[in-house]
Amino acid sequence: MEDYNKIIESLGVKFIKARHIRMLQTITIKNFYDVENSLMILYDGEVLFANEKIEVGDMLFIPGGKHATVTYSSGDSVQPKVVSNEEFLTRRELYFDSLRDATQVGKIPHSFGLVAFDAKVFDSVNFFTSLDIPPFIIKNNSYLGRLIGEILQEDFNETPGRGRIIKIKTEELAIEVIRYILKNKLFVEQLVTNSTYFKDPRLIDIFAYIKDNLGGDLSNKVLANVANVSEDYVGQYFKMLTGINPQDYIEYQRMEEAVTLLRTSKKSIRAIGAEVGYKDTAYFCRRFKMMFGIPAGKMRRRESLMNV
């Protein structure tokens, strides 16, 4: 348990968004995917995940980078319309209505609350993704449910100290999810297998270097110099500890940063691709669509819809 205390102490948690959503149509979203972690609590209505019904008050946690097929019911007693992740993200306003009245949180028919956040070890490694934890349902945790409600309330009210309170409560949220996993002995094999590399300082040096140099040369030769191992060995060393090869990890980090830039800047897609290490814009766009299921331009449009 001490090892997990050290990991949690090194965890950087960042609030991304909070939403109170009313379901407008009964839909099944196939292979929903996002780069950040999301925790949803069902306030009213019916939601299905992996053919399991989520009860009112239960939560669904989807780690960043993991696919999930979820059915949302608007109470119209019709067969769900099956939509792709791309269609959902680009036409979100047809399926979900985002509400901003703090007094109505948890009181609207066919609604749920959602908080999205990043959680990175040493500000470099996506914690839940790196442990290969799949999406899962959280039951009987009133503390987590209360935290989601409090974050929604703070986000909807322009009160002094709002950002600070949200930051503190989002950190609590991430820690409580970890505690739930440990307390209920979930994903024991993944935790035992994949948490060990957090203890290797050479690997942490590689993670930190990649984070700081996404637009530069991140060849195995460069990474070998960072970790002070041979170029022939660095790929094997990285994969042995993380389960993936370094170039796949680098591409995910570059694409994650590209999403952040699409969401927070007005830079052109060409400029964003170059900033995260892709000199060929067409290749960057192909890889982006392959990873996220939608073109980079639609990802940017999708962000304008998140406030609907």
Looking up residue 205, the CATH number of its domain turns out to be: 1.10.10.60
- Domains in the chain: how many in total? 2
Coil vs helix vs strand at 39 = strand
Q: What is the mean pLDDT of residues 234-242?
A: 87
Domain, as residue range, for 74: 1-189
Please indicate, yes or no, whether residues 35 and 59 belong to a single structural domain of this protein: yes
Tell whether the model's pLDDT for residue 278 goes beyond 70: yes
According to the model, what pLDDT value does residue 173 have? 98
Question: Residue for token digits 């053919």?
Answer: 51
72-95 in b/e form (b: 16+ CB < 10 A) is bbbeeeeebeebebbbbbbebeeb
Question: What is the CATH number for 165?
Answer: 2.60.120
Pairing assessment for the beta strands 81-84 and 27-32 based on DSSP bridges: parallel
Phi and psi at 278, nearest 5°, equal: -115, 110
Q: Which of 187, 163, 65 is nearest to 119 (CA)?
A: 65
Q: How confident is the model at residue 304 (pLDDT cuts 50, 70, 90)?
A: very low
CA distance 287 to 284: 5
Task: Report yes or no: 244 and 304 within 8 Å, Cβ to Cβ.
Answer: no
Mean pLDDT, the chain, integer: 90
Please state the pTM of the whole predicted model.
Answer: 0.82
Please indicate, yes or no, whether residues 43 and 93 belong to a single structural domain of this protein: yes
48 has which bridge partners? 53, 71
Task: Report yes or no: 108 and 99 within 8 Å, Cβ to Cβ.
Answer: yes
Q: What is the mean pLDDT of residues 95-108?
A: 94
According to the model, what pLDDT value does residue 1 have? 53
Please indicate, yes or no, whether residues 60 and 155 belong to a single structural domain of this protein: yes
Task: Report yes or no: 71 and 119 within 8 Å, Cβ to Cβ.
Answer: no
Domain contains 124: yes
Give the model confidence (pLDDT) of 62-77 as tens digits. Answer: 999 899 999 999 988 7
Domain contains 308: no
According to the model, what pLDDT value does residue 305 have? 41
Task: Report yes or no: 133 and 64 within 8 Å, Cβ to Cβ.
Answer: no
Domain contains 168: yes
Q: Tell me which range, 1-5, 6-10, 259-263, is most confidently predicted by mean pLDDT.
A: 259-263
